[in-house]
Amino acid sequence: MAKGKPVEIEEKEKRIMEKMKKIGKKVAVMSGKGGVGKSSVTAMLAVHLAKKGKRVGVFDTDFLGPSIPKLFGLEDARLGFTQEGMEPVTTKLGIRVMSIHFMLPSKEQPVIWRGPMIAKVLLEFLEKVHWGELDYLLFDLPPGTGDVPLTIMQSSKPDAIVVVTTPQDLAKEIVEKGVNMAIHLGVDEIHLVENMSYFKCPNCGHISYIFGESKVGDLTLKYGLNAEAKIPINPKISELGDSGKIEDLNEDYFEGMNL
């Protein structure tokens, strides 16, 4: 007979769920593969919610390649500690951000850990980070369906999943793994965002599908999803992200998303 979880893990998960009760809605942002701009989408979604007056937190769980601090201009920030626990770093719009990057001695320092170690530290963060009361907590997950996404899904019980894809056939096929993972773990609310969907010429307004025509319609029909956001190739996103000023982006691509 298979053994259950160790008692200490079960107790830790109970404490995590108690802490998560202060979060209005937990949203995991995931992708089946890397290179689709998932962290940028997470950051832009956080900005969208913050500008709506929502209290927002972002947990950067991609320990091996944290991008969230760069996007928000927080590369030199360091984690705070109080009696209530670890204190996230706050952006100029009031978004509360947690990342392993804030605990590293330098931004060039890599995290060279195996999956079980990362999962263990994730649980420590989930238990000990003091988010306070939030309307939304966004989890920026690493690509794929491995240790980290599974740990977050099982321990924090997201209310919704945002799956990020691009128009390429390969991305469409791989993103289905993320959709199926969410379904398998009982997450009913699944949103689909297509990044780098098209390019609109700033001079003549002509639209070019550089990575091919949109494939999200195939996924929406197959799984009954809504393709709620199509984000174009916008050089401004890269420019502001690289300079740590993603909050200055004027375009809002999530107006139609019922999150």
Is the C-alpha dihedral spanning 64, 129, 161, 48 positive or negative?
negative
The tokens for 155 are: 């321990």
Residue 84 to residue 258: CA distance in whole angstroms: 33
Q: What's the confidence (pLDDT) of residue 51? A: 97
> pTM of the entire structure?
0.92
Residue 150 is inside which H or E element, if any?
Answer: helix 147-156
Q: What's the confidence (pLDDT) of residue 169? A: 67
Nearest Cα to 61, choosing from 158, 200, 196? 158
Residue 57 is inside which H or E element, if any?
Answer: strand 56-60
| Topology classification of domain 9-241 | Rossmann fold (3.40.50)
Residue type, 176: E
pLDDT (tens place) for every residue of the chain, 259 residues total: 345 667 777 788 888 888 888 899 999 999 878 888 999 999 999 999 999 999 999 999 998 888 999 999 999 999 889 988 899 999 999 999 999 999 987 777 888 888 888 888 999 999 999 999 999 999 999 988 788 888 999 889 999 999 998 887 666 777 788 888 888 888 989 998 999 999 988 889 899 998 888 777 778 878 887 667 889 999 999 999 999 999 999 999 998 888 8
